[in-house]
């Protein structure tokens, strides 16, 4: 009998850059939904490559080594059977601290943020079965690069705002964030666009959607079927459109389109009409 996907979470050592690390061994080529949690991701892979499909557009790419900035879109990932992935969940402002911009929902080569030798050392450790050492090599490499980037006080102030947004599960306004920091809404917007690569509203929407899904399915890898079930349950609750967007980060129409796209990408059964 085939072994199911194994997920293991690892502690991070540089929280201003990496929130945590994880390693996944996929024995069945299973499908999962990657949530748009407002974080970046760095990953090293080995074995048959999987695929990543934008759950809103259906655009599909190979799931390979790389680093991605702020994630704002749900992604359906289908693994290559027998593949191993080591991932670092990045702090929302990690790439800003590394001097990298323009990577919102975009994958860049690992060598854009790390020397090739560091990547090679991490891969060697991963293939030897020591995911902890591999993650440490990557984190330390990021820390060395960050130390060479000039400190920007705006990044630290924006980090305070994002931490508050996370604490409130995104259920705040940009005005609330500005008030908490005793700055203007324009300040928060300018910092977010400059250092995060997206307006603060995009970050809040991503955090809201991820919070909504996590409340329904819990931690760890997210099965598309569980997300579809949560979306259908919420649609049946009949919340007012304004409340739907405030709570989930998406409008009712966007939620319905997302459900349809995930169903189309994963082969989940379609919704059954009531009556």
Kindly report, residue by residue over 168-217, the tens digit of the pLDDT: 999 999 999 999 999 999 999 999 999 999 999 999 999 999 999 999 99
Residue 21 resides in a domain? yes
pLDDT at 237: 84
The domain containing residue 109 runs over which residues? 6-147
pLDDT at 184: 98
pLDDT band (50, 70, 90) for residue 6 = confident
pLDDT band (50, 70, 90) for residue 4 = low
pLDDT at 1: 33
pLDDT at 135: 96
For the stretch 110-157, pLDDT in tens is 999 999 999 999 999 999 999 999 999 999 999 999 999 998 999 999
Q: What is the CATH number of the domain that holds 90?
A: 2.60.120.10
pLDDT at 142: 98
| DSSP H or E stretch at residue 145 | helix 131-147
pLDDT at 273: 41
pLDDT at 27: 67
Residue 268 resides in a domain? no
Residue 107 resides in a domain? yes
For the stretch 207-262, pLDDT in tens is 999 999 999 998 888 999 999 999 998 888 888 888 888 899 998 899 999 999 99
Q: What is the mean pLDDT of residues 4-16?
A: 80
Measure the CA–CA gap between 25 and 79, rounded to whole angstroms.
10
pLDDT at 126: 95
Burial class (CB in 10 A: 0-12, 13-18, 19+), 150: exposed
pLDDT at 140: 97
pLDDT at 230: 92
pTM of the model: 0.89
Measure the CA–CA gap between 231 and 194, rounded to whole angstroms.
33
Higher pLDDT, 101 or 275: 101
pLDDT at 272: 42
Residue 246 resides in a domain? no
Residue 236 resides in a domain? no
Counted domains in the chain: 1
Phi-psi region of 189 (alpha: psi -120 to 50; beta: other; left: phi over 0): alpha
Residue 264 resides in a domain? no
Measure the CA–CA gap between 57 and 73, rounded to whole angstroms.
10
Mean pLDDT of the chain: 90
Residue 98 resides in a domain? yes
Instruction: Evaluate whether 69 touches 107 at the Cβ level (below 8 Å).
Output: no
- Report how far apart, in Å, the C-alpha atoms of 72 and of each of 26, 183, 207, 219, 231 are: 25, 25, 9, 19, 18
Residue 230 resides in a domain? no
């Amino acid at each position: 009998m085939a072994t199911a996907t194994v997920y293991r979470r690892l502690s991070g050592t540089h929280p201003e850059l990496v929130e945590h690390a994880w390693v996944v061994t996929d024995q069945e080529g299973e499908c999962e939904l990657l949530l748009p949690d407002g974080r970046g991701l760095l990953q090293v892979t080995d074995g048959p490559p999987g695929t990543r499909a934008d759950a809103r557009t259906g655009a599909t790419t190979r799931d390979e080594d790389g680093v991605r900035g702020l994630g704002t879109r749900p992604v359906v990932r289908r693994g290559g059977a027998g593949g191993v992935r080591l991932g670092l969940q990045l702090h929302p402002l990690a790439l800003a601290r590394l001097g990298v911009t323009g990577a919102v929902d975009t994958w860049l080569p690992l060598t854009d943020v790390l020397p090739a030798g560091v990547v090679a050392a991490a891969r060697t450790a991963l293939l030897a079965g020591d995911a902890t050492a591999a993650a440490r090599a990557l984190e330390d490499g990021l820390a060395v690069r960050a130390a060479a980037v000039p400190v920007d006080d705006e990044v630290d102030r924006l980090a305070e705002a994002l931490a508050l947004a996370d604490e409130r599960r995104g259920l705040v306004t940009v005005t609330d964030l500005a008030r908490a920091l005793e700055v203007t809404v324009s300040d928060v917007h300018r910092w977010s666009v400059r250092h995060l690569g997206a307006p603060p509203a995009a970050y809040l929407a991503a955090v809201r959607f991820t919070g909504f899904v996590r409340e329904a399915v819990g931690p760890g890898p997210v099965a598309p079927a569980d997300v579809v079930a949560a979306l259908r349950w919420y649609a049946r609750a009949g919340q007012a459109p304004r409340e739907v967007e405030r709570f989930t980060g998406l409008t009712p129409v966007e939620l319905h389109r997302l459900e349809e796209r995930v169903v189309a990408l994963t082969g989940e059964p379609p919704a059954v009409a009531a009556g």
